[in-house]
Amino acid sequence: MSNEEQRLIESAQRGEVESFNQLVRLYESRVYNLCYRMLGDPDAAADVAQDTFISAYRNLGRFRGGMFRSWLLRIATNACYDVLRVRKRRPSTSLQALGVADDDGIGFDLPDLGERPDDAALRHELAAAIQRGLADLPEDQRVVIILSDIQGMAYEEIAAVTGANLGTVKSRLSRGRARLRDILRAGELLPSKFRHDGG
Amino acid sequence: MNTSQPQLNSMPDSDIELLSAYIDDQLTEPERAELERRLGTEPRLRAELEDLRATAAVLRDLEPRPLPRSFTLDPAIAPRRRGFLSFGWAMQLGGGLAGFALVLLASLQMFIGVGGGMAASAPAPAAMMAAATEAPAAPLPQAAEMAPASTAAPMVAAAAAPESAQDATAARNAPDSMASDTGAEGESSGAGAPALTEVPTAAAAMALPATEAPTPAISASGLSSPGTESLEQPASPPAAKSPPQLSAPPAGMILALGVVLIALSLGSFLYGRARR
């Protein structure tokens, strides 16, 4: 944790909301994307992300050092688990239950002027397939895949966020990758240069 | 897009885990060497590795979803932070201290009140009642001086003494004796133990619901004719003996209330810690 971040945390712990908001701006994209990939619904992800920062502000006194990012993501992860638990008790046939937003991968990002339409469509199709694949994973594998492969976090930090040991992180990551690999392979969405049968 | 079910992977989970850790450079040197040896001789293992790498690459290249809005907090409506001396924590501490004070008060009443007559102890209004009963005449001059100042004291005396017989005794002897009781109380309250003044009042207030029933009896007996006194006088010796017994209930109630307060405070504290 940098000195600047430490300074912001200490200031926020003294009640300076603007200092906390600077921390929010640092991590809101990461938190929101974690929530979105976990829940598959942009509105639910926004609600959980907001609740995460509110909870973090209220409980800043309990942050005893270490990586602030890990602490924040742990709050977000637990909040996502709570939402998913409620969903299980109230099953729905909506897209939300499938973990796929109705506009996933389509129309929400700025068009790349240098990108061919076919490539853009393929990119959107891939993003939608990945989100469907993530929704198909058990929650414990899903969060590890998101933190490791989508957000690029190290095993140790993932263990801190999820509360699991390193061995469990490795196991969940390998199983999650294998399942996603199968889904993408079935959809012929794996990049050709890596595909063993494409050459 | 092919919508067929994903093919079941027949490769052992242990191999998948090795390959996954290899991608992340998480193998020990001996493990890495052994795996690389196998990759050189097992094409299927090599193919699985490439597929896993492709999967990880696709995930890594996934574009982050743009924020729908900022999640910064509005300073005007930001939630209050839970400080060290939070309201809940203060309530727990206050409740625990109050409970401890009540337990201490009850203990003093039990031990000092049973001794029957240490009037210097303000938490023993029953003891004061007993002392006043034994020597009603002595405090009269003081009562005459203190009466205007002790308007609240009768309520304290009446409320703090569910021992209705004692109050009846005080009322019977003379209206002045009530004042004398209060006068004695007022004296001791004023001079003896100011720190305990509030506690008896609190104890009195807590004991009040239990004392409401006896109060009409006190009033009735207080308004009884002088003739009643003579009939009831023989009862005074037993009443004189009763203070030790009559002091027990309020002390017991106070003790119970104190224990309950301490238990609630401790339970609330432990529950709050467990929720973290």
**Which of B66, B68, B38, B208 has its CA nearest to residue B125?**
B208
Lowest-pLDDT choice from A76-80, B61-65, B210-214, B245-249:
B210-214
The domain that holds A135 is classified in CATH as 1.10.10.10
Within-domain flag for A97: no
User: What is the structure's pLDDT at B59?
Assistant: 94
pLDDT of B181 higher than 60:
no
Tokens standing for residue A148: 């490791």
Q: Which residue of A has its CA nearest to B83?
A: A61
Residues A118 and A182 in one domain: yes
State the best of A74, A153, A177 to mutate against chain B, taking most chain B CBs within 10 Å.
Answer: A177
**Which of B1, B3, B65 minimises the CB distance to A108?**
B65
CA distance B276 to B267: 15
State the best of A123, A148, A174 to mutate against chain B, taking most chain B CBs within 10 Å.
Answer: A174
Considering A188-192, B26-30, B204-208, B233-237, the range whose residues carry the highest mean pLDDT is B26-30
> Are B67 and A28 within 8 A, CB to CB?
yes
pLDDT of A180 higher than 90:
yes
State the best of B77, B81, B276 to mutate against chain A, taking most chain A CBs within 10 Å.
Answer: B81
Average per-residue pLDDT for chain B: 64
Report percent pLDDT > 70 for chain A.
Answer: 83
Residues A110 and A79 in one domain: no
Q: Which residue of A has its CA nearest to B57?
A: A149
CB B113 within 8 A of CB B251: yes
CB A4 within 8 A of CB A10: no
Residues A11 and A41 in one domain: yes
Instruction: Looking at the complex, report in whole angstroms how far the Cα of residue A91 sits from the nearest Cα belonging to chain B.
Output: 23
If one counts the domains in chain A, the total is: 2
Residues A66 and A1 in one domain: yes
**Which of B9, B58, B73 minimises the CB distance to A191?**
B58
Final residue before a domain boundary, out of A63, A91, A119: A91
Q: Which residue of B has its CA nearest to A182?
A: B6
Sort out which chain A residues have CB atoms less than 8 A from B67's CB and list them. Answer: 28-29, 32
Within-domain flag for A96: no
What is the per-residue pLDDT across A56-111, written as a single tens digit (0 to 9) for each?
999 998 998 889 999 999 999 999 999 999 988 877 654 544 455 544 444 444 55
Tokens standing for residue A7: 């300074």
Considering A65-74, A190-199, B9-18, the range whose residues carry the highest mean pLDDT is A65-74
Residues A132 and A71 in one domain: no
Residues A11 and A81 in one domain: yes
Residues A83 and A8 in one domain: yes
Report percent pLDDT > 70 for chain B.
Answer: 40
> Are A32 and B67 within 8 A, CB to CB?
yes
Q: Which residues contact B60 (CB under 8 A, 6 or more apart)?
A: A149, A150, A152
Sort out which chain B residues have CB atoms less than 8 A from A13's CB and list them. Answer: 81
Residues A199 and A111 in one domain: yes
User: What is the structure's pLDDT at B3?
Assistant: 44
Sort out which chain A residues have CB atoms less than 8 A from B2's CB and list them. Answer: 186-188
Domain encompassing residue A159: 103-199
**Which of B16, B68, B71 minimises the CB distance to A24?**
B71
pLDDT of B120 higher than 90:
no
Q: How does residue B243 score in pLDDT terms, banded at 50, 70 and 90?
A: low
- The CA angle B72-B77-B79, to the nearest 5 degrees, is 85
Final residue before a domain boundary, out of A58, A91, A124: A91
Q: Which helix (H) or strand (E) holds B102?
A: helix B87-115
**Which of A173, A14, A163 has its CA nearest to residue A75?**
A163
- As a whole number, mean pLDDT of residues B99-112 equals 85
Higher pLDDT, B256 or B208: B256
pLDDT of B22 higher than 60:
yes
Higher pLDDT, B202 or A80: A80
What was the ipTM of the complex prediction?
0.84
DSSP at B68: S
The domain that holds A23 is classified in CATH as 1.10.1740.10
Average per-residue pLDDT for chain A: 85
**Which of A125, A148, A136, A128 has its CA nearest to residue A179?**
A136
Higher pLDDT, B121 or A113: A113
Residue showing tokens 């509110």? A54
Q: How does residue B249 score in pLDDT terms, banded at 50, 70 and 90?
A: low
Final residue before a domain boundary, out of A45, A64, A91: A91
**Which of A147, A126, A134 has its CA nearest to residue A99?**
A134
**Which of B46, B71, B82 minimises the CB distance to A28?**
B71
User: What is the structure's pLDDT at A84?
Assistant: 94
Within-domain flag for A140: yes
Higher pLDDT, B100 or A135: A135
Q: Which residue of A has its CA nearest to B45?
A: A196
Residues A70 and A135 in one domain: no
Residues A24 and A66 in one domain: yes
Residues A193 and A110 in one domain: yes
User: What is the structure's pLDDT at B94?
Assistant: 81
Q: How does residue B253 score in pLDDT terms, banded at 50, 70 and 90?
A: confident
User: What is the structure's pLDDT at B11?
Assistant: 84
CA distance A6 to B15: 42
What is the per-residue pLDDT across A17-38, written as a single tens digit (0 to 9) for each?
999 999 999 999 999 999 999 9
Residues A115 and A193 in one domain: yes
pLDDT of B86 higher than 50:
yes
